[in-house]
Structure 1
Amino acid sequence: MENNPHLRTVNVTRYISPLREGGSLPALAEADDDFKYVLKFKGAGHGVKALIAELIGGEIARVLKLQIPELVYANLDEAFGRTEADEEIQDLLQGSQGLNLALHFLSGAINYDPVVTVVDAKLASQIVWLDAFITNVDRTFRNTNMLVWHKELWLIDHGACLYFHHSWSNWEKHARSPFALIKDHVLLPQASMLQEADTLFKSILTPDKLQSIVNLIPLEWLEWQETDESPEAIREVYLQFLLTRLTYSEIFINEAQNARETLI
């Protein structure tokens, strides 16, 4: 897959079924390119912020050459969903007109089971590093958010990362946080090469790379009613958060290493 961040845009043509595993009620849908997607709606609980987190977290993973399904912008026409019988789903579709986000559906993939699938130290360390960097609370034993597809490990569901943006205050403090919740990461016991992952990933995630990822956020996702900040000012905060977190990566690396020592 292409390493430079770039997203295609598809038009959703068919709502197939809701995926009720998560609270945001994503759906399996089909688009005008005849592919199936897991569709994430901007009209769901956390709104566009969950889509921004999904976009940034997913594209950072891709730049780091971790396996993640293709992300696409998914356009919902205003007429879409009018015939949907379920009122909750109809409201969700009507509230999500315009640009949403979707992940390519990996047909036949199975949920990662740590008892069944062994992940080597290098890959485990790289995934733990990623999740500590983007403050992803959602890769635990209870909810691994990883799939095994064609005998490879694929990362999904980054909508819960970058949770600082739900309060949108004191982002500088959040950027330097140790991220104590890394202690619950499903791959932490195997992550014995965090320092190596840190060295490699800091060489890959240049300011230009992070800027290009943040630039992918559509303008309409940055027009927030709860703040007077301009879309460009909001975009800049995301970039500075990531740059600061990268600069002070030893803070979250030390936290992860200390948490790991209590497990092994």
Structure 2
Amino acid sequence: MSTRQTELRTVNVTRYVTPLREGGSMPAIVEADDGFLYVIKFRGAGQGTNALIADLIGGELARAIGMQVPELVFMNLAEGFGRSEGDEEIQDLLKFSVGLNLGVHYLSGAITFDPTVTTLDPLVASKILWLDCLLTNIDRTHRNTNMLIWKKELWLIDSGASLYFHHNWSNWEAHIKTPFALVKNHVLLKQATQIEEADKICKHLLTKDVVERIVALIPEDWLKEEGFFENKEEQRNAYSTFLLTRMEHSNIFIKEAQNARKELI
């Protein structure tokens, strides 16, 4: 399975295997018509397509800075797929998720990353923390690391709790220069000793072309305009503007992270 990709494949869901009930949005393991198993993130779940957009952008940005991320795919769920499902809650979720959803290649046998067991290279830890500050990812904590060890290698998953400004577009521009105070809860804060070096490397890799290419992957019908944009293209551009402008002012969240590290150690 390649960890590098420039486009996302589209596959069709052929079999619902099992729900992952520990996830708040109730993702599931499914099989697709390419014969592989995926963890599917449903568009009909609580946060809707916003969570899928955040996961897509976060995952592909992580890949672009050299992190290992399971392959992301678009998963088409056909109308009527869930009619034979006995659980009414799952049946409703499938009914409201007809169309394109997001799939993550299932890493069979992977274990949850434990910072008390595994120490990362300081630059790797710093790059992950830097990216989560850029994305305002509130969900990479000791309680839920959203990192896996698979075949003795680190893999990043689930950025769906990122870019939380897009749940209320009315003040999205004000979020660009926020310091991200919740970095104090980041699972890698103690290990991230090379944040400034990570900043240089990540900004070199995440060029305007790279960011815009990743944002361009968002399916048209995942964008809702929300009444704050004249059209979906304007909304798409807002994601690029947020990321590129926030990178220009990365010193704001770097300082916040460094202060949080001082308090921690």
TM value normalised by structure 2: 0.97
> Which runs of no fewer than 5 residues in structure 1 stay unpaired?
none
User: How many Å apart are 1:118 and its aligned residue?
Assistant: 1.4
- Report the more deviating stretch, 112-121 or 92-101: 112-121
Alignment of 1:57-96 (within 5 A): 57-96=58-97
**Contact conserved, 1:223 with 1:230, CA < 8 A, in 2?**
no
Percent identical = 61
8 Å CA contact 1:76–1:99 kept in 2: the answer is yes
Identify the range of structure 1 (112-121 vs 99-108) with the bigger mean alpha-carbon deviation: 112-121
Alpha-carbon contact 2:3-2:71 (below 8 Å) kept: no
Contact 1:195 1:253 in 2 (8 A): yes
CA distance in 1, matches of 2:32, 2:166: 30
Partner of 1:256: 257
The alpha carbon displacement at 1:164 in A equals 0.5
CA distance in 1, matches of 2:240, 2:229: 19
Q: CA deviation at 1:229?
A: 3.5
Q: Distance in 2 between matches of 1:49 and 1:135?
A: 14
Aligned twin of 1:104: 105
The reply to whether residue 26 of structure 1 matches residue 27 of structure 2 is yes
Matches within 5 A, 1:171-186: 171-186=172-187
Q: Which residue of 1 aligns with 2:221?
A: 220
Per-residue deviation, 1:126: 0.8
Distance 1:216 1:64 in 2: 17
Which letter does structure 2 place at the counterpart of 1:32? Answer: D
Residue 125 of structure 1 corresponds to 126
Q: Secondary structure at the match of 1:37?
A: strand
Cα offset, 1:2, TM superposition:
6.2
Task: Give the Å deviation of 1:222.
Answer: 0.9
| Deviation sequence 1:139-182 (CA, Å, 0-9, x none) | 00011111000111111111000001011122221011100000
Contact between 1:28 and 1:36, CA under 8 Å: does it hold in 2?
yes
Distance 1:172 1:225 in 2: 15
Query: What letter matches 1:67 in structure 2?
Result: Q
Whether contact under 8 Å (2:170, 2:228) holds in the other structure is: no
Distance 1:37 1:71 in 2: 9
Q: Which residue in 1 is equivalent to 2:164?
A: 163
For structure 1, which segment, 176-185 or 227-236, has the greater mean C-alpha deviation from structure 2 after superposition? 227-236
Give the Cα separation in 2 of the matches to 1:28 and 1:4.
22
Question: Is the contact between residue 12 and residue 31 of structure 1 (CA under 8 Å) also seen in structure 2?
Answer: yes
Match of residue 153 from structure 2: 152
Letter in 2 for 1:71: L
CA distance in 2, matches of 1:259, 1:24: 30
Q: Which residue type is aligned with residue 46 of structure 2?
A: G
Distance in 2, Cα, partners of 1:216 & 1:53: 12
CA drift at 1:106: 0.2
Deviations 1:13-43 (A, max 9, x none): 0000100111100000000000000000000
Q: CA deviation at 1:53?
A: 0.3
CA–CA separation in structure 2 for the residues paired with 1:239 and 1:193: 26
Q: Compared with structure 1, are the counterparts of its residues 258 and 147 closer, same or farther at alpha carbon in structure 2 (3 Å cutoff)?
A: same
CA distance in 2, matches of 1:3, 1:37: 17
CA distance in 1, matches of 2:250, 2:20: 35
| Matched residues, number | 264
TM-score (norm 1): 0.97
Is contact 1:147-1:156 (8 Å) kept? yes
Distance 1:115 1:2, change over 3 A: closer
Cα deviation for residue 205 of structure 1 reads: 0.7
Q: Is 1:139 equivalent to 2:146 in the alignment?
A: no
Question: Do the aligned residues in 2 keep the contact of 1:35 with 1:104 (CA within 8 Å)?
Answer: yes
Tell me how far 1:5 sits from its aligned partner. Answer: 2.7
Is 1:54 aligned with 2:55? yes
1:261 & 1:250 partners in 2: Cα distance? 16
